[in-house]
Structure 1
């Protein structure tokens, strides 16, 4: 986001709006204090005692994914370049279906606490520690620090006299303290509230914008440029060409929704496989909502705010100029909720990775209270690192945009190692580690060549190609090394019968829900082709 071009919207916020925001903070504090008094062990802190139900999981998946950059970025992109980027939202149902059918059964059967822990069970400790270290670094310097910075830039539009670093400190300390105190349970409980606030607030703004277009979709389409309301874009498109829509978006989604600790931690804390599966499917349905309450409002805003030069100002300007008093505070509370939800989730997941993947080992085990202590200390330390790093992002300029594309380096070999590891019994530890190292090296080389103009493919298309390369390396090395033992495979490789849930939630119902989710995603693709 462009810090220098932020508008001063401080005069738009009335006392009633500040009252709504203050009420939100009071509720979050109350939840944090209540949960922290009931957090007695490391499992309580990291996995909410493995007692999360499907509704909480679904809403928490939605809320933890919607950051301030999502609200600002989706609305601004639709206003400026079109709705193609909405694919990252509504296509989340694809990897979440894979999570429900394939990976949730494996993860819950293995009783893992961290996603890298699965790599040790399936392969070896080297792969686990390598992937964990990469995830921790990216979580703190990209996700947590990026969330703090983006939230600070947006907050400055309404509080222009406060420096960026002071806002980063305030957000970081607030989110860090209640996360350290209550852990995942505090995070998911506040996530549910935050998700409801986000949905109600942005849906209300959407309806008001539609009314300002005389409740006419033709009026909306008449005010936008050709192709702005189309998801499928030509290969020359710089935002999301159609090959990237097919190859890049689902693969990036697989990494995010299946192997990313700060998202999957909610599934790992499920009370049962039924809760994990139905929570993932509910998350897929909720991820369709941003298309209608965050993306399309950007297109509707073209007729209402025709001359905004900075797309990042579309959302805060709509809040200030379109919404009435009170509702303005509700949506701003939603914006604060988005900031807090992304920051608290990343802090909790990173501390989980540090404690379970590096502090604990075969020689040094931890009792429940010691594990809780280390978890809280780690959360506070990582919070300080993110707070220090966040203001420095402003000095990176355009390099920060490249960091978002740098996920094209991380993702491909990870997808290859997890997907083939779960579905093909012949993959070996040597093959996995070789694929991770070589795949990241090759992906890094192509990323550099792309930045200097030598490699012609868009980074989303390149992701699909790099997954193929990583799979070839994994298969080739695995076939030339000794096959893993059968007892390891029985614990970590998927079997169709394991996807069948028990109790009242029959497998037929799971398949029906998945079919409905696929139909909804297909309808969006057809309507906005």
Structure 2
């Protein structure tokens, strides 16, 4: 990869300085306000505007796994991977209208608190511990490693560990300022992310246009992509047959056509956006109208994200298939690696713009790391430490307790990022071999069905019991592991419930999004069956009324615009 020029370094340093000084200004300003120290640090209670909430949601969501992992899947599969982004826009409408009123009316600040309030202490503790492990060993590690791979690919692979440490330190500095600093610096981060992302794809398309003799024209370049790789512009993949190639089968295993919309795709998005501390935390300190506007604004931004994070992968595929990017697509072992697609495209950018693109990448990575670190600190401090390790004395009450909670949160954040660096120093978790985006989706998907079943039944069915929640969580994990590891050996590769296909290693595999769908289905059956044996109305059930779910004309207009764009996209690329 080409080295950076002075202008690239200047552009990057300007970005770094603006984020740092703006974050410090926000930090100094918030210290003068009267919000309690702990609520300000963990929730930025009442101080984030709707546009800050929406921008922060996107900045925290779009990270290395999208820029690198989704671009890699764009290279391999094509536009079908955009389903994760576009269905997210629809999921955010559901979250804004139906989930947020339940959270805010019941003053829910953390997801374990929801489980304790609705079920019991046991469910809350189990999930608090699990979320901490998931956030540290799946999310933090993958974001940090993929981000370091991408940036070091541009400045030199020998800088991998230096970049990793730099990203860790930068994100930790922002995290120490608390959620308000994270929320408002995320506005800058998402602006840099979008500007840099669009600039990158614009130049990528002009390069494609020039390569195929249609001129340095982005629109002509996009049309060329559609002509050169028509299969990469189909949202719905066809189910493989005996005549299908191994490549077609491997694509279907990741994104199993129309079936995924009836199974795991909904669980992935509704669980991620609605039952995830990392995401919901941004809106839980706001009033309902502000929270809804912020979430819907994020949904609108999600519609354009595939252009930034997926389309470069298709451009890299077309260029590579036609003799370009031969060295750029190789990893350290000398083999073609789909996760190299985004950094391969960046290598062609002119001086100055390359610095902006690295700033955009850094913005996405740092925003996600900072948000994740704050969520880890929030869950540990509020749901574990203050309940089970805090000494109940007068000295721990009042302002002393507030400062202690913030200090504990900062220590937890530092410890978490240090663990992530240690585990990804030599990629101990094997993220690189699996493909970054698939790694996150699959391992998160092991418990997503059980967690989502607990939340959806807990919110909207008053009969759901704590015992059903515990059994449901275990059932979801057992079922998905059964389908992944044992079902094919016991029932064969073709049943009424699934079709398994031979993967590239020669073993039969069921698409993991199908596994998630059946895991959710059987978990719901078990939870409903157990709850029917209990009281007709659980004493801990939430009080719901129709007024909670009414939306203002402004909110309704935002929903309609999002739906119209979404329908148009699917009609175009079906």
Partner residue, 1:246? 262
Distance of aligned partners of 1:49 and 1:528 in 2 relative to their CA distance in 1, 3 Å threshold: same
Distance of aligned partners of 1:390 and 1:301 in 2 relative to their CA distance in 1, 3 Å threshold: closer
Unaligned runs of 5+ in 1: 1-7, 502-506
Distance of aligned partners of 1:166 and 1:219 in 2 relative to their CA distance in 1, 3 Å threshold: closer
Partner residue, 1:234? 238
Deviations 1:311-363 (A, max 9, x none): 32222222221x22222211110011111011111111001000011012298
Of 386, 402, 422, the residue aligned with 1:388 is: 422
Distance 1:103 1:345 in 2: 21
Q: How does 1:179-198 map onto structure 2 within 5 Å?
A: 179-180=175-176, 182-198=177-193
Distance of aligned partners of 1:166 and 1:302 in 2 relative to their CA distance in 1, 3 Å threshold: closer
Partner residue, 1:5? none
Distance 1:68 1:231 in 2: 23
Distance of aligned partners of 1:211 and 1:386 in 2 relative to their CA distance in 1, 3 Å threshold: closer
Deviations 1:39-81 (A, max 9, x none): 5601111001332111011111111111122112233322332
Aligned 8 A contact 1:412 1:439 in 2: yes
Distance 1:328 1:163 in 2: 17
Give the number of equivalent residue pairs: 508
Q: Say which SS state the counterpart of residue 267 (structure 1) adopts.
A: coil
Distance 1:459 1:227 in 2: 22
Cα distance, 1:269 vs. partner? 2.3
Q: How does 1:136-155 map onto structure 2 within 5 Å?
A: 136-155=132-151
Deviations 1:210-260 (A, max 9, x none): 344243354222211x42110101233222012113321121001110011
- The alignment status of 1:26 with 2:17, answered yes or no, reads yes
Aligned 8 A contact 1:84 1:239 in 2: no
Cα distance, 1:302 vs. partner? 4.3
Aligned 8 A contact 1:406 1:447 in 2: no
Of 215, 221, 238, the residue aligned with 2:226 is: 221
Partner residue, 2:545? 495
In terms of mean alpha carbon deviation, does 515-524 or 446-455 score higher?
A: 446-455
Partner residue, 1:285? 300
Q: How does 1:336-375 map onto structure 2 within 5 Å?
A: 336-361=362-387, 364=392, 367-375=401-409
Partner residue, 1:524? 569
Q: Say which SS state the counterpart of residue 567 (structure 2) adopts.
A: helix
Distance of aligned partners of 1:483 and 1:131 in 2 relative to their CA distance in 1, 3 Å threshold: farther
Distance of aligned partners of 1:165 and 1:244 in 2 relative to their CA distance in 1, 3 Å threshold: same
Cα distance, 1:450 vs. partner? 6.9
Aligned 8 A contact 2:73 2:338 in 1: yes
Cα distance, 1:483 vs. partner? 4.5
Cα distance, 1:484 vs. partner? 4.8
Q: How does 1:2-41 map onto structure 2 within 5 Å?
A: 8-10=1-3, 13-37=4-28, 38-39=30-31, 41=37
Partner residue, 2:332? none
Aligned 8 A contact 1:44 1:185 in 2: yes
Partner residue, 2:478? 441
Taking only aligned residues, the RMSD between alpha carbons, in angstroms, comes to 2.3
Partner residue, 1:431? 468
Of 154, 157, 160, the residue aligned with 1:158 is: 154
Distance 1:466 1:164 in 2: 38
Of 273, 279, 292, the residue aligned with 1:257 is: 273
Cα distance, 1:189 vs. partner? 1.5
Cα distance, 1:403 vs. partner? 5.8
In terms of mean alpha carbon deviation, does 162-171 or 507-516 score higher?
A: 162-171
Partner residue, 1:310? 337
Cα distance, 1:391 vs. partner? 1.9
Distance of aligned partners of 1:285 and 1:411 in 2 relative to their CA distance in 1, 3 Å threshold: same
Partner residue, 1:3? none
Partner residue, 1:105? 101
Aligned 8 A contact 1:42 1:375 in 2: no
Distance 2:487 2:442 in 1: 11
Distance 1:189 1:109 in 2: 25
Cα distance, 1:388 vs. partner? 1.4
Cα distance, 1:129 vs. partner? 1.1
Distance 2:200 2:301 in 1: 18
Partner residue, 1:319? 346
Q: Say which SS state the counterpart of residue 254 (structure 2) adopts.
A: coil
Distance 2:284 2:130 in 1: 20
